[in-house]
Structure 1
Amino acid sequence: MRKLTYYIAATLDGYIAGPDGQYDFFPFEGEEAAAILADFPETMPTPTRDPLGIADRAPERFDTVIMGRATYEPGLKLGWTSPYAHLKQYVVSRTLTSPDPAVTVVDDPVALVRELKEQDGLDIWLCGGGKLAAALRDEIDLLIIKRNPIVIGSGIPLFDGPFTPTNFVPVGTRSFDSGFAITHFAKVLS
């Protein structure tokens, strides 16, 4: 069965973006960027894959991406109507109409994920955002958090929803001299 993985960058204080959706304070350089490109190449937007030298790399971990409207919109502003053309793309929204035939807009993320998990394929990448992650909390099998040694004080939290304790256990961490770390957490099954 396919797994839903919430793979996301976060600050030390648990935010995935600033109050207005800013994310440009997350660095992407050096050995950290090299590790991300080596281990998660399919998470790079299609227009950036050629300049990054990974245009020909086939998806290895994920073949499907799910994102909320606020995660999708920055790409739209750049003219990227199909930001992850190398993956099957879903945007969760109640108001957006699909601006590209390669992007499927859905309004029930739980039903979508349950259906996708029953299909053959690689795992499913939950790209963001915090409200969508909260809605899918019970469906998330694995968290992969790119923890940046930054504190921002306010913004969009990793999970933006009701108080619902959900246990995960760390299953691996790769740390860098900069303080950046990529930690994998598996859901504790009850």
Structure 2
Amino acid sequence: MRNLTYFIATSLDGFIADPKGGFGDFLFEGDHMTALFEEYPDTLPAQGRQALGIDAPNKHFDTVLMGRATYQVPGGLPSPYPHLRQYVVSTRLTSTPPDVEVVTDPLATVRALKSEPGLGIWLCGGGRLAAALLPEIDELVLKIHPIVFGKGIPLFAGEFPTARFTKASTRTFDTGVVFTTYAKEENA
């Protein structure tokens, strides 16, 4: 069975974006970015992969799931991750390229995807979708940036059940960014 991984940048106070959905205050230079390029090339959008000359095979994920707001970030691409199967959860989105599938039931979609063979499923964002999918999230990979937003889009938004995770690994970079991986507790 495949795993659903919430792989996301977050501020020290638990926000994945500012109140308008922007994430420009996160750090995009430094040793943590080198690690990201090398270890998670599958999480880079096509535009970034092309600009950086990255043509690496997918290491962790072959599928990405994102909310409508994450998919439609300003300046976003109509098919941001053509190297992955792309799903957007939305009841309002009406047109996407053929390689981007719009779904309305995220839980059913994730459960069906988990039953298929393949690499992992990347939950790209946002906070409301993460809260809705919390029962199905197997792993959290948090890229914690040394910034405090004070307000914005939380890591998990809305009502959701308590879930326990166990720290699997932590890696600290000179930039102050910390990658921490948590695995869902088996009895959670």
* Paired AA for residue 95 in structure 1: R
Task: Give the C-alpha shift of residue 98 in structure 1.
Answer: 3.0
Residue 26 of structure 1 corresponds to 26
How many Å separate the matches in 2 of 1:180 and 1:31?
A: 9
1:141 pairs, out of 138, 141, 145, with 138
1:98–1:104 CA contact under 8 A, matched in 2: no
How many Å separate the matches in 1 of 2:37 and 2:22?
A: 22
Taking structure 1 as the reference length, the TM-score comes to 0.96
* Cα deviations by residue, 1:134-168 (Å, 9 ceiling, x for unpaired): 00000000000000010010000000021522101
1:161 pairs, out of 150, 158, 163, with 158
Residue 117 of structure 2 corresponds to 120
Identical amino acids, percent of aligned pairs:
54
How many Å separate the matches in 2 of 1:80 and 1:23?
A: 16
Which secondary structure state, in structure 2, belongs to the residue aligned with residue 60 of structure 1?
coil
Residues 20-169 of structure 1 correspond to what in structure 2 (within 5 A)? 20-54=20-54, 56-74=55-73, 77-78=74-75, 80-169=77-166
Residue 186 of structure 2 corresponds to 189
Taking structure 2 as the reference length, the TM-score comes to 0.97
Runs of 4+ with deviation above 4 angstroms? none
Structure 1 unpaired stretches of 5+: none
Which secondary structure state, in structure 2, belongs to the residue aligned with residue 51 of structure 1?
helix
2:131–2:160 CA contact under 8 A, matched in 1: no
How many Å separate the matches in 2 of 1:163 and 1:136?
A: 9
* Paired AA for residue 48 in structure 2: T
- The RMSD of aligned alpha carbons is 1.0
Count of residues paired in the alignment: 187
How many Å separate the matches in 2 of 1:92 and 1:145?
A: 21
How many Å separate the matches in 2 of 1:67 and 1:97?
A: 15
How many Å separate the matches in 2 of 1:36 and 1:94?
A: 32
* Cα deviations by residue, 1:69-115 (Å, 9 ceiling, x for unpaired): 000001xx436110101100000001112321110000000000000
**Structure 2 vs 1, CA of residues 156 and 169 (structure 1 numbering), >3 Å: closer, same or farther?**
same
